[in-house]
Chain A
Amino acid sequence: MESVLLPGSSPIVTFRILFRAGSALDPKGQEGIASLTAAMLSAGGSRSQRYEEIVEAMYPMATSFRCQVDKEVTVFMGETHVDNLDRYYRIIRDMLLNPGWRPDDFKRLKEDAVNYLKVSLRGNNDEELAKEQLYNFIYEGMPYGHENAGTIASLERITEGDVKRFYEACYGTSIMLLGLAGGYPDRFPSQVEFDFAGGLTTGNESELVLPQPKKITGLHMQIIEKETRGTSISLGFPIAVTRSHPDWPALLVAQSYLGQHRSSNSFLYKQMRQVRGLNYGDYAYIEYFPRGMFQFHPDPNLARQQQIFQIWVRPVEPQNGLFALRMALYELRKLVRDGISLEDFESTRRFLTKFVNVLVGTQDARLGYALDSRIYRIREFPVYVKEQLGVLTAQDVNRCIRQYLQPDNVKIVVVTQDAESFRHAALDDAPSPITYGSPMPKQVLDEDRQIENYHLGLTADRISILAVDDVFQKP
């Protein structure tokens, strides 16, 4: 067991108890078991307390206990006022070390998982649907190739016994990272370490070995059809760079310049939303960033061995769907062809050097990033980023753009009404002009001509249409 400790004077104590195991370990046919197991621990009863009793006990303390499950990491999170530390800790220790495994908790949490897929993702959030399905499309048939929550068919098959066995096999101290921050007493971390060392087995330490993602040749598109007002688009491809790679800081600059999340300062946002009013925003990523609709900063503890480059186009009016897709590809091609200017490099670097302070602006975020730095084997995150940015050059960034980014071999997920028309138009490759309600500068209109004629080169065998009810249905 390793520990990451950030003692401080805050009256709040933050816990992040992390296990290096996640949905990539889900056995075939049991997709979703890692998530369901974590949910049974964080939102189910312990041996000594039913879940209702836990909720009631936590309530006067205004605390909670949550989990986040990703491909390779499961983290349990909570915070408490130091006044209540002992009471709170006793509850969560029992939840993690002596789970109750009650059938009624299992039934409720399984239904929650199914409803998350069916209702929250498929039904109520087209943007996240496109973003999540892109990963399934890119990693099809591989350990990363299913939504973390699983599939509806596999969830239905998982039994209480399966979940218990998964816990026993995967939750060991050898893959545990204990994160604590805030004003806890000096002796507290060793007490936690002692309890967990006694309560869990050592477990299996062997590192997950992943196959290389499949090579993408040309453009490939999945169109998810549903009755909806807007057309949502996500596109991307695997990149060989994670936070532990020496080229990550350079690629971070490129990504921030092109599409800093939820920022009006990114190039895509300016061109697509500010200049053309196409939608609410357009962003780019080099790391997994779920729940982007609801938050401005990424959650920590989503460390992965493999990442993709991704562009997120927020819903556009359906008649502008193909234009928006072409524009995202056009701008990516331009970036790869022209690189970023010295001036843009400098301003993006200045931004990130200071913005990294915002990312670690809370005790919880500092702790989360510190745990990730331990996993990626880099220095303290803000120090590392500032130091690396300090020695970076525009040439480095442009070399990385050319080396890792490209617009030609890309997977695309579109969520839209009338999928057949979209498919037909995309295959046809005919111009997809856009009209505006107000006069536009000539320069914009000239560029629009190029965008509307952007050659997609899609073939019928590379486009498929999915009914929304088939997404996340089975492995």
Chain B
Amino acid sequence: MTKIFPYKYDIEDLDNGLRLITVKTGYPNLIALYIVVRAGSRNEIEPGKSGFAHLFEHLMFRGTDRFSSEQYDEILKNAGADHNAYTADDRTVYHVVFSSEDLEQMMMIEADRFQNLKVPIDLFKTETRAVLGEYNKNASSPLTRLLEVTRDTAFTTHTYKHTTMGFIRDIENMPNMYEYSLEFFDRYYRPENTTIIVAGDVGSESVLPLVNKYWGSWQRGVYTAVVPAEPAQNSPRHAHIDWPTPTLPWVIVAYKGPAYSDRRKDMPVMDLISHLGFSESSDLYQRLVIREQKVDILMPLFEDHQDPFLVMVAARVKDPADIHGVSDHIISTFDSFKKAEVPGERLEGVKSHMRYDFALRLDNSQAIAAALAPYVALAGEPETVNRLFDTYAGIDPSDVQHMANKYFDISRSTIVTLCHTGK
């Protein structure tokens, strides 16, 4: 079978531990530069300090001695660059897309802020308010709150207990945490935690010298985060949210799932189940959304994580009276994979979907770098994508049944409901 990731790439490791991945996409004019830091909200191990990885995503735009944030912005503006960043549980990703001729300048300013960020306390405090603003803008969405409560209920110990935004009490206290923010940067923003992805009509022969020049003197760090392991869950957990304004009810059914691996079949089987059980083509979707029309959104959330996380299915229900019935249907669907093998033809249809879906996304340099970033954070190299799709190809109906029995036990479940009662 041809490789799912068809582009040629080079990997180079600097002495300080920094990794460069150059992907020659052949798409002209634009270059996508993705800087992946393997630190996310998973690394927020001290109580009271959730949300710092995300706060750092903001602070990284606040300047250095050499370039103030205004100068940094001006350089990006002159390059017509499209830049931003995002934070997830296991990674923080800084990305910029720009015209090919501006590569050296982009490398220079990005290297500068990663090594020399300097945020005075006043600017730090102002930025913490923008983070609160972000929390507030998200707060009108019930799904945001639902995911927040699901994690908080499902995890007792692991840092996956909190969302990337962090607990609201910690966000409100951020202005007082300047010293800790310096420590966070010192611990995690280090070359051995960082991978640079460059995708465009460019090869490593032109990129590597620039990376050596601007990133070569970055000092290795010493810190290793010890993330507390989540103890086994032995009984089902439930939570309910009473939403203050009118909305349609929601339910989330979550089970403790496996960690990412491209070789062990556990998580790849979960990916297939997410499609088999809960995608638009699934029996459940066809029944609840199209035929019975009890649900208008049915959404599997099976995300890859470094440590064992959750496999979740969220549904928005049209009538509050149906909320428990819908929840039962979702649980029965999980159970159905334990009882019988899925038809082979259906499994192959899902595999075909996943291959085309991935391939259809890779139609420009930015999309290619963006698709690689999560995998690079988890496994360090693009080859993991090819291995993952090889593993998918080798999964048969008995593997699906076996993994379903391993993970979908009701004692490992968390169910969270949300509705507006108007009381």
Contacts and interface: CB of A to CB of B under 8 A. Distances in A.
Contacts of B97: 358, 361
A277 B129 contact: yes
Contacts of B246: 118-119, 122-123, 469
Interface in A186-231: 226-230
A448 B54 CA distance: 29
Contacts of B136: 229-230, 279-280, 315-317
B126 A111 contact: no
A350 interface: yes
B340 interface: no
Contacts of B332: none
A154 interface: no
Given A12-B360, A59-B279, A315-B133, A264 B73 contact: yes
Interface in A91-128: 104, 107-108, 111-112, 115, 118-119, 122-127
Nearest to B143: A124
B290 A51 contact: yes
A63 B316 CA distance: 24
B286 interface: yes
Given A264-B73, A280-B130, A315-B136, A59 B291 contact: no
B318 A115 contact: yes
Interface string A397-438: 000000000000000000000000000000000000000111
A62 B279 CA distance: 11
Contact of B140 (A51, A56, A126, A469): A126
Contacts of B128: 277, 437
A108 B280 contact: no
Given A59-B353, A293-B137, A437 B129 contact: yes
B137 A315 contact: yes
A51 B121 CA distance: 58
Interface stretch (A15-23, A132-140, A233-241, A268-276): A268-276
Contact of A273 (B29, B130, B360): B130
Given A275-B126, A277-B130, A437-B175, A125 B80 contact: no
B126 A62 contact: no
A436 B97 CA distance: 35
B140 A107 contact: no
B133 A277 contact: yes
Interface residues of B, number: 70
A61 interface: yes
A213 B84 CA distance: 37
A12 B296 contact: no
Contacts, number: 196
Given A111-B318, A274-B69, A276-B126, A355 B74 contact: no
B79 A354 contact: yes
Interface stretch (B106-114, B363-371, B387-395, B404-412): B363-371
A79 B360 contact: yes
A297 B291 CA distance: 36
Given A228-B139, A351-B80, A314 B245 contact: no
Contacts of B363: 10, 12, 362-363
Contacts of B185: none
Interface in B361-403: 363-364, 366-367
A172 B357 CA distance: 33
A149 B316 CA distance: 20
Interface string A254-288: 00000000101100001001111111100000000
A201 B98 CA distance: 46
A13 to B, nearest CB: 10
A265 B73 contact: yes
A265 B76 contact: yes
Interface string A54-98: 011001111100000000000000010100100000000000000
Interface of A: 10-12, 51-52, 55-56, 59-63, 79, 81, 84, 104, 107-108, 111-112, 115, 118-119, 122-127, 226-230, 262, 264-265, 270, 273-280, 293, 296-297, 314-317, 347-348, 350-358, 361-363, 436-440, 468-469
Interface of B: 29-30, 61, 69-70, 73-74, 76-84, 97-99, 121-122, 124-130, 132-137, 139-143, 175, 244-248, 279-281, 286, 289-291, 293, 296, 316, 318, 349-350, 352-357, 359-360, 363-364, 366-367
16 contacts: A111-B318, A119-B248, A119-B316, A123-B245, A229-B136, A230-B139, A265-B76, A278-B133, A280-B134, A280-B137, A296-B82, A314-B133, A316-B136, A317-B136, A361-B364, A468-B245
Q: 3 closest pairs, A vs B, by CB?
A: A354-B80, A277-B129, A62-B356
Given A12-B360, A62-B360, 19 more contacts: A52-B291, A55-B286, A60-B349, A60-B356, A61-B353, A79-B360, A108-B293, A112-B296, A123-B140, A227-B245, A264-B83, A265-B77, A275-B126, A277-B129, A279-B136, A358-B30, A361-B364, A361-B366, A438-B175
